[in-house]
């Protein structure tokens, strides 16, 4: 852009997996265009973002008034990582209350800045921001923090409810025929029960419809990795789609955007330093999801039986308060924690680990992940193959993309109500980490994706990768529209 007084206003959803890539995008836009960049959110999230940025930052952070207890949420709960997974949807609904203050803010900025020089880049879960942009006659782009493939299937399922039209467990998507069949076990309980007239259907359909009406889509993905989903979105929306990811690449070798404190970070890195190259399994279900108590027991037994070294980030099992102290004696097999400590087989971390540091350490061999898209990008950018255990939303389709199209993943379980035995878990770990032909293939493919990602974000004078070019094209598009 021209570097005049354009103001780009970014509005992420209130979840770590959305705030982190949005902040990375904000910094990238600021650095590359010199525009005023404003990030908007609720007070506690803004405070958290402020603590992650250097004091000299030129990113403007703006709080919108919000009190979680006014929306049936516990006090001071403005981020999904503080909520049980069942409450996440309440935070989505609560976000509707931000509409009047957001509209006032944008209206004030347009008056100060001059009308055409403002645009919004908002989260795909904040479809109502499209209405604000339309009311004020300004540009609106959606930044999709998931894969194009996963999010496109997720939207298609909510909009078309194809599982309601068949008795069969497997079905295809009427508007997305390129996707091989979807199975009922890949649908969340909310989606399974949706019939188009219930509250959840109405909200999700409205959100998907509005989001798809944005003036264009920035996606935290790489063209080569995610071709099927990107082509689908281009066809379905007839809008510009710019795969600009992974945005976190901006932080590699820069100050870390992570909440893990220094003590945990040092402990993990020191522990990894004591283990051989390619020997450690990293286990994490992201910032907001968890598995059931019985699954946790099986996972612990499976990890122990596999004999493989592991780091496991522990969160309370589903149904228990996420903020309470982790009860190892109750939730893990008898003596598990002590045995792991004494044998040095496993390092158990509470709640939050320095994920990028762990994945980029050369002792890390594989990642047992819920397939949240940030985790996927972080893993593959380090050439680390994935053992998939998707739990919610579009994670099931990320896992499908990784296993069926990219061949960098083996899915071990699905959802937090499925039954999976420890023998099965141990055998998948062995398949991926035990020097099998399959394991070697997974690693080879993951390394090829790592190179693809490095190429995509290459920003040398002489050669720009496809994600960098897509970002430039987005700026060019914006400038033409704004001027």
Q: Residues 358, 272: contact at Cβ < 8 Å? A: yes
Q: Which is nearer to ligand UDP, 66 or 373 (CB)?
A: 373
User: Does 17 sit near ligand UDP (CB under 6 A)?
Assistant: yes
Q: Which is nearer to ligand UDP, 33 or 379 (CB)?
A: 379
Dihedral sign computed on CA atoms, order 130, 471, 58, 355: positive
Q: Which helix (H) or strand (E) holds 402?
A: none
Task: Report long-range pairs for 119-123 (Cβ below 8 Å, ≥24 apart).
Answer: 119/6, 119/8, 119/9, 119/478, 119/482, 120/9, 120/10, 120/11, 121/8, 121/9, 121/10, 121/11, 121/25, 121/218, 122/10, 122/11, 122/12, 122/214, 123/11, 123/12, 123/13, 123/18, 123/22
Q: Which is nearer to ligand UDP, 125 or 139 (CB)?
A: 125
User: Which of 322, 353, 410, 478 forms a contact with ligand UDP (CB under 6 A)?
Assistant: 353
Q: Six-digit token pair at 356?
A: 């990028």
Q: Six-digit token pair at 112?
A: 């100060």
Q: Which is nearer to ligand UDP, 17 or 133 (CB)?
A: 17
Measuring CA to CA, which residue among 347, 379, 349, 350 is closest to residue 366?
379
User: Which of 38, 247, 288, 382 forms a contact with ligand UDP (CB under 6 A)?
Assistant: 288
Task: Report long-range pairs for 133-138 (Cβ below 8 Å, ≥24 apart).
Answer: 133/106, 135/103, 136/103, 136/106, 136/107, 136/110, 138/106, 138/110
Residue with tokens 């993309």: 401
Residue 461 CB, shortest distance to ligand UDP, in Å, is 30
Residue 217 CB, shortest distance to ligand UDP, in Å, is 18
User: Which residue number places its CB atom closest to ligand UDP?
Assistant: 17
Could you give the CA distance from residue 31 to residue 266 in angstroms, rounded to a whole number?
A: 30
User: Does 15 sit near ligand UDP (CB under 6 A)?
Assistant: yes
User: Does 252 sit near ligand UDP (CB under 6 A)?
Assistant: no
User: Does 399 sit near ligand UDP (CB under 6 A)?
Assistant: no
Could you give the CA distance from residue 32 to residue 362 in angstroms, rounded to a whole number?
A: 32
User: Which of 205, 221, 289, 364 forms a contact with ligand UDP (CB under 6 A)?
Assistant: 289
Residue 371 CB, shortest distance to ligand UDP, in Å, is 8
Q: Which helix (H) or strand (E) holds 122?
A: strand 118-123
User: Does 246 sit near ligand UDP (CB under 6 A)?
Assistant: no
Concatenating the DSSP letter of every residue in 250-314 gives GGTTS-------HHHHHHHHHHHHTS-TT-EEEEE-TTT----HHHHHHHHHHHHHHT-EEEEEE
User: Does 331 sit near ligand UDP (CB under 6 A)?
Assistant: no
User: Does 83 sit near ligand UDP (CB under 6 A)?
Assistant: no
User: Which of 93, 96, 352, 477 forms a contact with ligand UDP (CB under 6 A)?
Assistant: 352
Cβ neighbors of 26 (< 8 A, separation 6 or more) are: 10, 37, 39, 59
- Span of 112-120, 125-133, 286-294, 329-337 interacting with ligand UDP by CB under 6 A: 286-294
Q: Which is nearer to ligand UDP, 77 or 287 (CB)?
A: 287
Cα-to-chain-centroid distance, residue 225: 16
User: Which of 247, 287, 295, 363 forms a contact with ligand UDP (CB under 6 A)?
Assistant: 287
Residue with tokens 């803010």: 105
Q: Which is nearer to ligand UDP, 256 or 293 (CB)?
A: 256
Could you give the CA distance from residue 424 to residue 388 in angstroms, rounded to a whole number?
A: 13
User: Which of 77, 204, 258, 379 forms a contact with ligand UDP (CB under 6 A)?
Assistant: 258
Q: Six-digit token pair at 395?
A: 């994670």
Residues 376-395 that bind ligand UDP (CB under 6 A): 378
Q: Which helix (H) or strand (E) holds 392?
A: none
Could you give the CA distance from residue 74 to residue 413 in angstroms, rounded to a whole number?
A: 31
The Cα angle at residue 65 between residues 60 and 71, in degrees rounded to 5: 135
User: Does 265 sit near ligand UDP (CB under 6 A)?
Assistant: no
The Cα angle at residue 17 between residues 11 and 18, in degrees rounded to 5: 10
User: Which of 373, 389, 397, 474 forms a contact with ligand UDP (CB under 6 A)?
Assistant: 373
Q: Which is nearer to ligand UDP, 288 or 306 (CB)?
A: 288
Site map (CB under 6 A) of ligand UDP, residues 290-319, x = contact: -----------------------x------
User: Does 156 sit near ligand UDP (CB under 6 A)?
Assistant: no
Q: Which is nearer to ligand UDP, 287 or 467 (CB)?
A: 287
User: Does 22 sit near ligand UDP (CB under 6 A)?
Assistant: no
- Span of 201-209, 214-222, 282-290, 456-464 interacting with ligand UDP by CB under 6 A: 282-290
Residue 434 CB, shortest distance to ligand UDP, in Å, is 26
Residue 146 CB, shortest distance to ligand UDP, in Å, is 7
User: Which of 216, 372, 385, 388 forms a contact with ligand UDP (CB under 6 A)?
Assistant: 372
Q: Which residues here bind ligand UDP, judged by CB under 6 A?
A: 15-17, 20, 258, 284, 286-289, 313, 352-353, 355-356, 372-375, 378
């Amino acid at each position: 852009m021209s570097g005049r007084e354009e103001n780009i206003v970014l509005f992420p959803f209130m979840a770590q997996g959305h705030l982190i890539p949005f902040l990375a995008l904000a910094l990238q836009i600021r650095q590359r265009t010199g525009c005023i960049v404003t990030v908007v959110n609720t007070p506690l999230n803004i405070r958290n973002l402020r603590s992650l940025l250097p004091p000299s930052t030129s990113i403007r952070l703006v709080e919108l008034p919000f009190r979680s207890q006014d929306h049936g949420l516990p006090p001071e709960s403005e981020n999904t990582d503080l909520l049980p997974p069942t409450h996440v949807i309440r935070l989505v609904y609560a976000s509707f209350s931000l509409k009047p203050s957001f509209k006032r803010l944008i209206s004030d900025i347009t008056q100060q800045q001059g009308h055409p020089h403002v645009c919004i880049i908002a989260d795909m879960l904040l479809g109502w921001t499209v209405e604000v942009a339309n009311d004020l006659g300004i540009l609106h782009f959606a930044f999709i923090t998931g894969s194009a493939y996963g999010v496109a299937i997720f939207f298609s399922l909510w909009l078309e409810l194809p599982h309601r039209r068949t008795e069969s467990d497997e079905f295809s998507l009427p508007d997305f025929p390129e996707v091989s069949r979807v199975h009922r076990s890949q649908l969340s309980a909310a989606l399974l029960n949706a019939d188009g007239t219930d509250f959840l259907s109405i909200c999700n359909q409205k959100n998907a419809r509005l989001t798809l009406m944005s003036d264009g889509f920035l996606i935290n993905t790489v063209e080569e990795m995610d071709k099927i989903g990107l082509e689908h979105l281009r066809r379905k929306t007839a809008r510009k789609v710019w795969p600009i990811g992974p945005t976190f690449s901006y932080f590699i070798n820069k100050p870390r955007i992570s909440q893990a404190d220094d003590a945990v970070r040092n402990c993990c890195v020191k522990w990894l330093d004591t283990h051989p190259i390619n020997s450690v399994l990293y286990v994490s279900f992201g910032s907001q999801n968890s598995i059931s108590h019985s699954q946790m027991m099986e996972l612990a037994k499976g990890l122990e039986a596999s004999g493989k070294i592991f780091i496991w980030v522990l969160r309370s099992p589903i149904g228990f308060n996420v903020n309470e102290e982790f009860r190892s004696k109750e939730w893990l097999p008898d003596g598990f924690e002590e045995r792991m400590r004494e044998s040095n087989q496993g390092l158990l971390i509470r709640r939050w680990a320095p994920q990028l540091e762990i994945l980029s350490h050369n002792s890390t061999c594989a990642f047992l992940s819920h397939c949240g898209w940030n985790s996927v990008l972080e893993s593959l950018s380090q050439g680390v193959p994935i053992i998939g255990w998707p739990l919610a939303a579009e994670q099931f389709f990320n896992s499908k993309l990784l296993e069926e199209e990219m061949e960098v993943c083996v899915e071990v379980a699905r959802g937090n109500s499925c039954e999976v035995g420890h023998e099965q878990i141990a055998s998948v770990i062995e398949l991926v980490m035990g020097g099998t032909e399959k394991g070697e293939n997974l690693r080879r493919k993951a390394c090829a994706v790592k190179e693809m990602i490095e190429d995509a974000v290459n920003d040398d004078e002489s050669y720009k990768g496809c994600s960098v070019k897509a970002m430039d094209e987005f700026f060019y598009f914006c400038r033409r529209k704004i001027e």
